[in-house]
Structure 1
């Protein structure tokens, strides 16, 4: 369930009342009406939330000074509420419901936070690169897993995929800039470490990042899809497990450490694994967003989003074919 607080100008009172009358809600009320403004409170199931938000945006677009605040509801208790929930449960069995996904605006807010290049992002990337480089050189699994969890590089990739799915060029640019900055910082730090220290070429943690096969492609696709699905459902806490499965930092660090040590062949193999992860995460996450119905509100935006999604999927698919060919014909 979700609760929505709507603040709007008084002249839109009748419009809002008609909109709310059209929906089967657990509860709604018009509150704090004055000569200039009014407030409304709405409680409704998650499955109806996106449709109501889009309708409110469409109908209130001609008005100024309106605002919609959305908060999750843990529980709604009361005899009338229980009866309403039972009635709606029966209705849901008779009609098809939309997929269980977070609001488009909620997803946008979540992924947009991962595109900010601030001190926290830079420090976490720097520290995770140091931890990963030293951990892999010492062949310490626990240390490497810790570096995977704290590395913030998966967020910008998911933000890019989401932006491509809704046709938001500005968000795509911000996500690309953040991802490149993070990778550059991580690779640069690991390169210096590989150049300075004696690299342990027998470390299994380093060697593992040079093994690239078709199973790496399947794992990256599955993990990228799981990451996008967790974002689309609003359960981003599950991303910790996904980060461990398809972390971008360890292969990038292995690539840079080997490069710093002058091991060009091993560095190239780690670079292929990194490219595989990046490509597969983008393809899988865009497909999941499309299947789950994540798309813009207006017709023009939907047309732009469809074109953006097609172009991006085509480009990433060509790159994937190239990587698979490299794996099978050269590295296999």
Structure 2
């Protein structure tokens, strides 16, 4: 429930009261509410779901709510007609969970944290995420997501673009950029400390750790997580639903990827760092874009699109609001901040998304080529366990992408030409130069061989594998 306090000039008093009476809203009028004796203060309680509707009705009636308007939370109200408003807006045909434009701005800004708190919590979450990745512990990684504060900066940016609030756009983007930099730097320093202290050996191939592998091979499902996280956050912010749990989902799309970038840099593995940073960029942009789109769909937009609209509404000149947003005083030029922010997001999303799509297509082509190579009669006794491909951006560093293949073979049966066969098949189907690394896992099978599945499957933990004989080309 909300308590609205609206300062109204004497000449607008009858208009306001007419609107409230037509909607059966109980109100109280206080005279001499300001230094100017002709102003009155009108107070009236509303269900949260009714605030935007009633405020819009007042604006359309010509009431200027920019002079002094307070929307405060209230616990309960006992008035003659309040229960009718609840039946109408809470449980009736006009039921709507949406909150007012002013309230969504306030809710987003309430999630803002000062620099010390924001960057400290970001650094802590990145360190915990990096430790969880290196330990291959999903539980620890989830713990890092819980303490990450990224939900606030992401939703502040989305609200800022929707309402054309320059201050919120600047605040949200700045915190995100510097927050990701702090997370990457923290994971990088932790990696160096762990190596120098011999806590984790420097020769460890972190790209083989399960939790890290998931962050260096970005795919469409990862983008789907980010899109849904941003959309859910915006939907929760724009309604009466809580957004605290959504923050964990947004952090899930961002913090582990940032930690993986730092780990890749610390271990000097460009393929890990590049793959993780591609995932981080795509997910970060996806969160911001989806949050904006949901808010736009729900009707959260700047108050006016042109000075003519403002003049037609209340007969006043459009001005810049106290919170940094524009009311349309310069026509479409007033929307330059939001337009630039949105265009930047879309350009980055298209560019990074194009690279991601190319990587997904390359991965699929490699998987098909490896399966085709394994279909040869001479490899009938082999079982394909997994295929992993380095991110294609590694070519920008004058390095050839490596395809790592793991197969299960009968004990003590050599296949010296398998790596070359796979390499030739991959190059034939993808028209790209690649290195191929084949890892053999020896094992035995019993029973009907026709029931054996030769598709890639999850591998056992490295510590539990039997003898391994790698072959490289």
Q: Distance in 1 between matches of 2:90 and 2:189?
A: 63
Q: Who is 2:27 aligned against?
A: 28
Higher mean alpha-carbon deviation, 20-29 vs 265-274, is at 20-29
SS in 1 for 2:15: helix
Give, in angstroms, the shift of residue 310 of structure 1: 5.5
Q: Do 1:165 and 1:308's aligned partners in 2 also have CA atoms closer than 8 Å?
A: no
What number of residue pairs does the alignment pair up? 321
Q: Do 2:282 and 2:349's aligned partners in 1 also have CA atoms closer than 8 Å?
A: yes
Q: Distance in 1 between matches of 2:89 and 2:155?
A: 34
Give, in angstroms, the shift of residue 99 of structure 1: 5.3
**Larger RCO of the pair (alpha carbons < 8 Å, separation 6+):** 1
Q: Do 1:4 and 1:68's aligned partners in 2 also have CA atoms closer than 8 Å?
A: yes
Which of 255, 258, 261 is the matching residue for 1:255? 261
Give, in angstroms, the shift of residue 315 of structure 1: 3.9
Give the 3 Å change call, closer, same or farther, for CA 290–123 of structure 1 in structure 2: same
Give the 3 Å change call, closer, same or farther, for CA 170–83 of structure 1 in structure 2: closer
The answer as to 2:4 corresponding to 1:4 is: yes
Q: Who is 1:242 aligned against?
A: 249
Q: Distance in 1 between matches of 2:347 and 2:11?
A: 53
Give, in angstroms, the shift of residue 85 of structure 1: 4.5
Higher mean alpha-carbon deviation, 17-26 vs 160-169, is at 17-26
The answer as to 2:59 corresponding to 1:59 is: no
Give the 3 Å change call, closer, same or farther, for CA 150–60 of structure 1 in structure 2: same
Higher mean alpha-carbon deviation, 70-79 vs 150-159, is at 70-79
Give, in angstroms, the shift of residue 252 of structure 1: 0.4
Higher mean alpha-carbon deviation, 73-82 vs 280-289, is at 73-82
The TM-score with structure 2 as length reference comes to 0.60
- Which protein is richer in helix relative to its size? 1
Superposition pairs for residues 198-213 of structure 1, below 5 Å? 198=195, 201=206, 202-213=208-219
Higher mean alpha-carbon deviation, 301-310 vs 221-230, is at 301-310
Q: Do 2:165 and 2:338's aligned partners in 1 also have CA atoms closer than 8 Å?
A: no
Q: Distance in 2 between matches of 1:90 and 1:187?
A: 45
Q: Do 2:4 and 2:69's aligned partners in 1 also have CA atoms closer than 8 Å?
A: yes
SS in 2 for 1:196: helix
Superposition pairs for residues 309-328 of structure 1, below 5 Å? 312-328=341-357
> Displaced runs of 4+ in structure 1, greater than 6 A?
89-92
Instruction: Say which one has the larger Rg.
Output: 2
Give, in angstroms, the shift of residue 251 of structure 1: 0.5
SS in 1 for 2:149: coil
Q: Who is 1:136 aligned against?
A: 133
Superposition pairs for residues 79-98 of structure 1, below 5 Å? 80-83=81-84, 85-86=86-87, 88=88, 93=93
The answer as to 2:80 corresponding to 1:72 is: no
**Cα RMSD (Å):** 3.2
Higher mean alpha-carbon deviation, 106-115 vs 173-182, is at 106-115
Give, in angstroms, the shift of residue 245 of structure 1: 4.3
5+ residue gaps, structure 1: none
Deviations 1:42-98 (A, max 9, x none): 122444422544546963469xxx532212345445665335645x469964xxx59
Q: Who is 1:40 aligned against?
A: 42
The answer as to 2:229 corresponding to 1:219 is: no
Q: Distance in 2 between matches of 1:84 and 1:180?
A: 44
Higher mean alpha-carbon deviation, 276-285 vs 158-167, is at 158-167
Q: Do 2:129 and 2:140's aligned partners in 1 also have CA atoms closer than 8 Å?
A: yes
Q: Distance in 2 between matches of 1:100 and 1:82?
A: 17
